[in-house]
Copies of this chain bind each other. A is one copy, B any other.
Amino acid sequence: MISHPITGLVAATHTPFHADGSLNLGMVEKQAAHLQHTGIAAAFIGGTTGESHSLSLDERKALTKRWMEVTAGSSLKVVVHVGANCLGDVAALAAQAQEVGADAISALAPSYFKPRSVASLVDCCVQITAAAPELPFFLYDIPSFTGISLSMPEFLTMGAERLPTLAGIKFTNPDGMMFQQCLYHSDSAFSILWGTDECLIAGLALGATGAVGSTYNFAAPIYQRIIRAFGENDFVTARAEQKRSVELVARLASVGYMGAAKSVMKILGVDVGPARLPHTNLDAAQEKALQADLEEMGLLSAEFRV
């Protein structure tokens, strides 16, 4: 088993596009700077927020390459999401991640054709991890998107035997009981990253020491305060900040979360462009209304900007 505790906030970054939807690698530098400015520990690139499934293999490779260039020498870690339906592509992405010096890889399972058992899921992961034998591996469990609901504790048990680089799970799953079972598995040897931003305080209470999410891209100060307040047993503050996070997520979801989230980035001065189909985007009027609301919610102040 590989030792690789990721702690703190990990931002599941957006993939930047030009207005016409083509890849805009020129924006990565600004994204990275923004994350560092707001105290983010690591960038999780090319995941669900990164629209991985809407990217070509070449685009994913170019994205990874650019992030490694931009973060070279910085303290911002990079976790490359390599998951896809085609395991051959996944292996290629994993190998590249190792080659360019990423800190870790993560992958969700193929989900058009689904592994029907934990054993089959581990078989898939064997192919993936073999291509990056030196990088810590995080399984990415996100049943609401993949439609795959397998036992994560069983995965850890079988994975501990067959996956030498298994480091943990990106746990984007509302099942708090299973979260604890993973957290305490193998004498707490694995990093189980909390994946529900709008309940970070619940994750902290359960024992999470790291969290991955998409709102950490643009609202990290809220969560930094939650973590700090939690550490000081100040639940009044922690809950008040969490409430702001809930209101933010609800506001974005009301007009289509992904497109709205990319608009927030633009409003904050980090223009990552529109989301690709089948996601929808905000029109100008919606974006203006959003900006006004964010302003009122105090989410456009200096601490949220670079």
Instruction: Give Cα A210 to B88, complex, Å.
Output: 34
Looking at A35-43, A177-185, A216-224, A283-291, the stretch in contact with chain B turns out to be A177-185
Tell me how far the C-beta of A294 lies from the nearest C-beta in chain B, rounded to whole angstroms: 18
Residues B278 and A88 in contact, CB atoms below 8 Å apart: no
* A246 CB within 8 Å of chain B: yes
Among B53, B55, B242, B280, contact of A180 (Cβ-Cβ < 8 Å): B242
- Tell me if B246 and A114 are in contact (CB < 8 A): no
| Minimum CB–CB distance for A71 against chain B, Å | 25
Q: Quick one: copies of this chain in the complex?
A: 4
Q: Tell me the nearest residue of chain B to A242, going by C-beta.
A: B180
Q: Is the CB of A116 within 8 A of B174?
A: no
Is A158 close to B, CB under 8 A? no
Q: Give A206's nearest chain B residue, CB to CB.
A: B202
Chain B residues with Cβ below 8 Å from A198 are 176-177, 180
Pick the interface stretch among A1-9, A120-128, A261-269.
A120-128
Name which of A110, A115, A199, A201 has the most chain B CB atoms within 10 A of its CB. A199
A206, A238, A239, A249 pick with most chain B CB within 10 angstroms: A206
Bin the interface of chain A by size: 35 or more
- A86 on the B face (CB < 8 A): yes
A26, CB-defined interface residue at 8 Å? no
- Identify which of B57, B85, B184 contacts A54 (C-beta below 8 A): B85
Complex: how many Å from CA A283 to CA B115?
Answer: 18
Chain B: CB-nearest residue to A280: B120
User: Which 7 A-B pairs rank lowest in CB-CB distance, beginning with the nearest?
Assistant: A205-B205, A202-B202, A176-B199, A53-B85, A53-B112, A115-B278, A177-B198
